Amino acid sequence: MHRVYTAMHKIWYHKFMSKFSLLIIAGVCLSWLLSAGRAPAAVDPFADIQQRQNQFRQQQQLDEIRRNEQIQQLRNQQDVNQLQRQIDQTRNQPADSTQTQPDVNKLQQQLNQLQNEQQLKGVEREQRLIEIQRQLDQLRRERQTKELQRQQQIEELQRNQKTREIEQEIKK
């Protein structure tokens, strides 16, 4: 009986140990798989902070572009209003003026066209800002932000040139 008991004990012990070892191996594999998903954070504990800082900085740049856009729209409106007053004054000058009515109408058309272009470019820039905000690739987002800032500066210079040309035509 003792032999049977010992044999049963050995069989039970081997079954238990094999199940226990499988459980240990499964636990090790599971912990390895779970830790693999967190490996980048374990490698660089500041990666999350740096990513948030980059996102915050990029959002600040986009906000700055929007503020500049609003300021520029106000300046544009002031310039257009001033040009419109000058055109109206020219229109109301006495008949002996050297500037003829068709010239004034041409200036009015140029001013209207300038206003329409400004509105269209403003809408296009806002759409680009929205696209940039949706961009997930950080480097591409930075590049697009810088490109939009350059484009904004170029368009401002072009607008100033057109405004000066219209103003010079009015003064002729």
What band does 113 get if pLDDT is binned at 50, 70 and 90? very high
For the stretch 36-79, pLDDT in tens is 555 454 567 788 888 888 888 888 988 998 998 899 889 999 99
Q: Does the pLDDT value for residue 35 go beyond 80?
A: no
More confident residue, 25 or 106: 106
Q: Which of the 8 DSSP states describes residue 37? A: T
Whether residue 159 contacts residue 118, with contact meaning beta carbons closer than 8 Å, is answered with yes
pTM score, whole prediction: 0.61
Of 1-10, 35-44, 65-74, 127-136, the range with the lowest mean pLDDT is 35-44
The tokens 């409106």 sit on which residue?
77
Per-residue confidence (pLDDT) for residue 96, from 0 to 100? 59
What band does 154 get if pLDDT is binned at 50, 70 and 90? very high
Copy the structure tokens of residue 36: 């693999």
Average pLDDT over residues 110-139: 89
pLDDT averaged over the chain? Answer: 81
CA angle (115, 148, 142) in 5-degree steps: 160
User: What is the C-alpha to C-alpha distance for residues 7 and 1, in angstroms, rounded to an integer?
Assistant: 10
Per-residue confidence (pLDDT) for residue 157, from 0 to 100? 92
